[in-house]
């Protein structure tokens, strides 16, 4: 029995270092980020007859983005399928941005909406109006290789 345990221990000892060796733990160079651009992709379907009003509001949203110095998202007006709009917004913080408690660009944009509408209350009303036009939404995250 004792001999069996000693043999098992002799085989198991090298395995304890396997995880460190598997990820090149011994290399001196720091890990490298992949050369990717990450995007939030939003799909939106509006209530019947509300697409035109929603697109007018999107124009205001674009003006605000430009005014506060944000990169404009790519906005696709869909001609087929179940969605009316597909919006691709670059994630400047990369995939790590998903862990942010609050997005600094979102705060910057909201401040622009408050300025545009004249008050926090008016901005909330404007945003709720836009939200009332939406029948369904979904969001995905993807990347492109640079």
**Measuring CA to CA, which residue among 71, 72, 81, 70 is closest to residue 43?**
81
In this structure, are residues 39 and 144 in contact, taking their beta carbons and an 8 Å threshold? yes
% of the chain at pLDDT higher than 90? 65
Residue 33 has what pLDDT?
Answer: 76
Q: Please report which helix (H) or strand (E) contains residue 106, including its range.
A: helix 104-117
Q: For residue 130, is pLDDT > 80? A: yes
Per the model's pLDDT, the better-predicted residue between 25 and 88 turns out to be 88
Structure tokens at 44: 């939106």
Residue 101 has what pLDDT?
Answer: 83
Q: DSSP letters of 65-124?
A: HHHTTPPPPEEEE-SSSS-SEEEEEE-TTGGGGGG-SS-HHHHHHHHHHHHHHSSHHHHH
d(CA 7, CA 37): 51
Encode pLDDT of 21-34 as tens digits.
Answer: 556 656 668 777 78
Tell me the C-alpha to C-alpha distance, in Å, between residue 126 and each of 61, 70, 146.
Answer: 11, 20, 37
d(CA 126, CA 12): 65
Pick from 33-37, 57-61, 64-68, 79-83: least confident: 33-37
Task: Provide mean pLDDT across the span 68-73.
Answer: 95
Residue 5 has what pLDDT?
Answer: 44
- Main-chain phi, psi angles of 142, to 5 degrees: -150, 180
Fold (topology level) of 36-145: Alpha-Beta Plaits (3.30.70)
In this structure, are residues 33 and 39 in contact, taking their beta carbons and an 8 Å threshold? no
Q: Is the pTM of this model over 0.85?
A: no
d(CA 134, CA 127): 11
């Amino acid at each position: 029995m004792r001999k069996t345990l000693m043999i098992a221990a002799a085989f198991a000892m090298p395995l304890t270092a396997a995880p460190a060796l598997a990820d090149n733990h011994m290399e001196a160079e720091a890990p490298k980020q992949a050369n990717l651009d990450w995007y939030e992709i939003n799909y939106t379907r509006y209530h019947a007859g509300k697409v035109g009003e929603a697109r007018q509001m999107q124009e205001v949203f674009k003006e605000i983005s430009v005014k506060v110095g944000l990169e404009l998202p790519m906005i696709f007006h869909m001609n087929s399928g179940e969605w009316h709009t597909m919006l691709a917004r670059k994630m400047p913080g990369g995939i790590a941005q998903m862990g942010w408690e609050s997005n600094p660009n979102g705060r910057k944009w909201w401040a622009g909406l408050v300025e545009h509408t004249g008050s926090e209350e008016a901005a909330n009303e404007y945003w709720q109006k836009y939200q009332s036009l939406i029948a369904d939404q979904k969001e995905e995250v993807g990347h492109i290789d640079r």
